[in-house]
Structure 1
Amino acid sequence: MANRRDGSLMRNNGQSLRGLRIAAAISIGVLLGCVFAFLYPHGFFAANLQTTSSSLPSKTGSVACDSSEKVNLLKSEIVALSEKNIELKKQVRDLTEKLRLAQQRNGLAQQQVVVLGKQHKAGPFGTVKSLRTNPTVLPDESVNPRLAKILEEVAIGKELIVALANSNVRGMLEVWFNSIKRVGITNYLVVALDDATETFCKSNDVPVYKRDPDKDVDSIGRMGGNHAVSGLKFRILREFLQLGYGVLLSDVDIIYLQNPFDYLYRDSDVESMTDGHNNMTAYGYNHVFDEPSMGWARYAHTMRIWVYNSGFFFIRPTVPAIELLDRVADRLAKQNVWDQAAFNEELYFPSHPGYTGLHASKRTMDFYLFMNSKVLFKTVRKDSRLKNLKPVIVHLNYHPDKLPRMIAVVEFYANGKKDALDPFPDGSQ
């Protein structure tokens, strides 16, 4: 019994000791909890987080500041790139325009290369001579196959005389082609502007070409007078040049006494007879203009030359020559201007602001060989020495009584009638 009680007591004591240990552990835990609660009211880890977070605001602010600066930098770079893009676009436009102009110049340069060939050094003083002869265009038979076939049969050396005519000038036309036949010229062609003229030429065995119907020119061709018909030639001659032929354009109030092709130089785009009557007026002179109100500078020097006659000129198939025809034809279509005035203005007026001059070479024919009627009736027929000179042609351009004077010229030069010119006055009355 005693043993059972002792065992029971020992068990009770052991349980009491475990209870005390547990109570002590709890007390220590509570005590430590109070201490930590007092020292770290927000908790131990919260304190660490607070300590850590205390350093974060400075970094975050720095990042925000850096980002703002980068954004501003990017914006400024975008603005700069936009401005550069605008400038590049402008440069592209400028380069495109320069390229276009360069291509135009290249086309002209290629034409010049054909003429000039390889480059040359300038020679000694007084030996340098420039080239004046432009190259001929490549013939294009597709322009007018029918005319091309006619020209192939008529022309000699790709050259021929061409005259435009309608029924209004039938009498002069007959004297004209008879003088050509008398000299033995075969390379000539009449461009008939109406059916009656075509029939008349064929009946007299005269080479003739009747153009295809053209509403723009047919009415003028059939009914127009000398000046109206004269204006048509600049449009019609273009096809001859495109086909590669040199043309000696002739009005019908002209008498042929020698073959003109034997007297051409062929070194210029245009060789023309002159309306001048002596060396000064025909070939140019220095004319002094006097303006007294200018005092010391009262005298102004000017260059003068009498106009080329648009009724007789030799024109080569070159680009400047075709441009000349185009310019004159365009002006005649749009302006009320005399064809001879437009012809000379386009040949002589230089480039100036608002206007690009024609770069065509020109030669003035010898005014005694290619003679106008003023020279003949006012000077030559009165000079014993000049009367013995036989001109190549005589153009009755200064006188309205053309047909009787043409007949008189034939009598004087071809038939030897020395007084044939005497009945006529110097000028017109």
Structure 2
Amino acid sequence: MAGRRDALLNREKGQSLFGSRIVGAVAIGVLLGCVFAFLLPHGLFSSSDSQTIHNLRDRISNQMVSSECESLEQVNALKSDVQTAKEKNYELKKEVRSLMEKLRQAEQGKGHAQEQVVALGDKHKVGPFGTVKGLRANPTVIPDESINPRLAKILEEVAIYKEVIVVLANSNVKEMLEVWFTNIKRVGIPNHLVVALDNTIEEFCKSNDVPVYRRDPDEGVDTIAKTGGNHAVSGLKFRVLREFLQLGYSVLLSDVDIVYLQNPFDHLYRDSDVESMSDGHNNYTAYGFNDVFDEPKMGWARYAHTMRIWVYNSGFFYIRPTLPSIELLDRVASRLSSDPKSWDQAVFNEELFFPSHPGYDGLHAAKRTMDMYLFMNSKVLFKTVRKDDKLKKLKPVIVHLNYHPDKFARMKAVVDFYVNGKQDALDRFPDGSE
């Protein structure tokens, strides 16, 4: 009990002492307030000090506004610098692409040159089994600009890496020509040229900013150019193409009934004199097959093996400026002029494929067949591709409406299907012609 009482007395003393301290602190505060009021009647800060503070506030505010303006100018300057950097980067990318393409061509040319040295140079011993390769591509001719300086100047401006897409057109195919160059522009293929066969097409191309070349008048040929139908104009192209090859340019010859969906120059091999799309509609017909001919009356020898391939399409092929290529054009043009009823595609394939035999010297030209699903004819599209869910997802490089007479309508449908995404655009057409 005594211990508890002592504890209570100590706590009361502590509380009393704490209260005394508070009272003392309050008294000191009041006393100090009185002293400051007597010595500084106008307050701690004078009016001049207040003005100084106000001026300081204004100065800070002005600096902040000035800083904001400077920041805005800096941001705009930075944006301008970024845009300039982007433009320089784009130009650098173009230069890099150009250099890469030149390097690719140089390497390709080096490979061809090595093959030529091996095939045409000094005699060599045969290498190990499986290492021997013959000459794949013939050397290109020396360009001769004197044969057509006007065309040479146009090609110098239009062609890229000495390559150009060429189409012949007169007023009979004006609607299809518009679809042709509209899709070429959409894909972004700058190296294309229309050989205008009449004044109307020349003016039409100029008004649509399409590179155009108007041939000089040529008796006989000029009449075909202005009034001829598809086959007549198709035969004329072999004569016209000769000048392009003489000038040293590789030509991707195109009919007008073709829809471009990708850049074809990205999908060429360039290892042959002629690289052509096929009229075939499957692997066998497009790339060749062993066709067995059965003649029962021959008994034991009733089966005869034959090699077959469907013809190349003379409306879309890539041709390099080589001597065999120019010889091919000369042969076809000569035969068509002597027999106007001949079909240019049949003559084109006969000269390409018929071998030398008694009384006839065949053409020694290297050939390559294009991928039939990338370079697609309209039979492949309407008979096979549009009915196959997997094949429908593939995007061809071009579609050639060569198998059907209603070309313009089908060209527009191809654009709707592959470009505009209309999945039923091809459904209303029959497999063949009506």
- TM category (shorter chain) comes to 0.7 to 0.9
Counterparts of residues 173-212 of structure 1 (less than 5 Å): 173-212=177-216
3-state SS in 2 of match to 1:202 = helix
1:228-286 per-residue CA deviation (whole Å, 9 max, x = no partner) reads 00000000000000000000000000000000000000000000000000100000000
Residue 311 in structure 1 maps to residue 323 in structure 2: no
For residue 215 of structure 1, give the secondary structure of its aligned residue in structure 2.
coil
The equivalent residue for 1:322 is 326
Q: Pick one of 346, 349, 353 that aligns with 2:351.
A: 346
State the TM-score, normalizing by the size of structure 2: 0.72
2:344 corresponds to which letter in structure 1? D
User: Deviation string for 1:5-53 (max 9, x for gaps)?
Assistant: xxxxxxxxxxxxxxxxxxxxxxxxxxxxxxxxxxxxxxxxxxxxxxxxx
- CA offsets 1:167-200 (integer angstroms, 9 cap, x no match): 0000000000001000000000000000111010
What residue in structure 2 maps to residue 337 of structure 1? 342
Deviations 1:319-375 (Å, cap 9, x if unpaired)?
Answer: 000000000000001123100000000000000000000000000000000000000
> Could you tell me which residue of structure 1 aligns to residue 426 of structure 2?
421
Alignment coverage as a number of residue pairs: 319
Is 1:384 matched up with 2:389?
A: yes
Whether contact under 8 Å (1:165, 1:191) holds in the other structure is yes
Change (3 A) 1:396 1:162: same
1:260 aligned to 2:264?
yes
Q: Take 1:134 and 1:375, find their aligned partners in 2: how far apart are those partners?
A: 32
Structure 1 residue runs of 4 or more that deviate by more than 6 Å after TM superposition: none
Q: 279, 291, 294: which one pairs with 1:287?
A: 291
Corresponding residue for 1:121?
A: 125
Aligned equivalents of 1:121 and 1:365: distance in 2?
34
Q: Counterparts of 1:211-250 in structure 2 under 5 Å?
A: 211-250=215-254
Q: Which residue of 1 aligns with 2:52?
A: none
Cα deviation code 1:188-217 (max 9, x no counterpart)? 000000011101000100000000110121
Following superposition, the deviation at residue 126 of structure 1 comes to: 1.7
User: Could you tell me how far 1:119 is from its partner in structure 2?
Assistant: 4.0
d(CA) in 2 for partners of 1:145, 1:119:
41
1:116, distance to aligned residue in structure 2 (A) = 4.0
Q: 1:294 to 1:115 in 2, by over 3 A?
A: closer
Amino acid at match of 1:419: D
Equivalences for 1:76-155 in 2 at 5 Å? 116-155=120-159
- SS of aligned partner of 2:220: helix
Q: Is the CA contact (8 Å cut-off) linking 1:268 and 1:361 kept in structure 2?
A: yes
1:276-309 deviation digits (Å, cap 9, x = unpaired): 0010000000001111111111111100000000
SS at match of 2:200: helix
- Measured in 2, the distance between the counterparts of 1:132 and 1:426 equals 38
Answer whether contact 2:119 2:134 (CA < 8 A) is retained. no
- The amino acid across from 1:349 in the alignment is F
How many angstroms does 1:131 deviate by? 2.0
3-state SS, counterpart of residue 232 of structure 2: helix
The answer to whether the Cα contact below 8 Å between 1:281 and 1:305 also exists between their aligned partners in 2 is yes
CA RMSD of aligned residues (A): 1.3
Q: Determine if contact 1:115/1:134 at 8 Å carries over to the other structure.
A: no
Q: 1:40 — aligned with what?
A: none
User: Match for 1:142: what amino acid?
Assistant: S
**Distance between the aligned counterparts of 1:126 and 1:270, measured in 2?**
26
Contact 2:116 / 2:135 at 8 angstroms: preserved in 1? no
Tell me, yes or no, if structure 1 residue 362 matches structure 2 residue 367: yes
- SS of the residue 2:422 aligns to: coil
Larger Cα Rg: Structure 1 or Structure 2?
1
Indicate if the aligned counterparts of 1:115 and 1:135 stay in contact, CA closer than 8 A.
Answer: no
8 A Cα contact 1:115 1:133, kept in partner: no
User: Hey, what does 2:171 align to over in structure 1?
Assistant: 167
CA contact (8 A) 2:404 2:433 kept: yes
Q: Separation in 2 of the partners of 1:114 and 1:213?
A: 45
Q: CA deviation at 1:121?
A: 2.6
Are the equivalent residues in 1 in contact too, given 2:118–2:124 (CA < 8 A)? no
Percent identical residues: 80
Cα deviation digits, residues 55-80 of structure 1 (max 9, x gap): xxxxxxxxxxxxxxxxxxxxxxxxxx
Q: 1:118: how far off?
A: 4.7
User: Paired residue for 1:395, among 400, 417, 434?
Assistant: 400
Between the aligned partners of 1:405 and 1:115, the Cα distance in structure 2 is 47
**Conservation of the 8 A alpha-carbon contact between 2:314 and 2:345:** yes
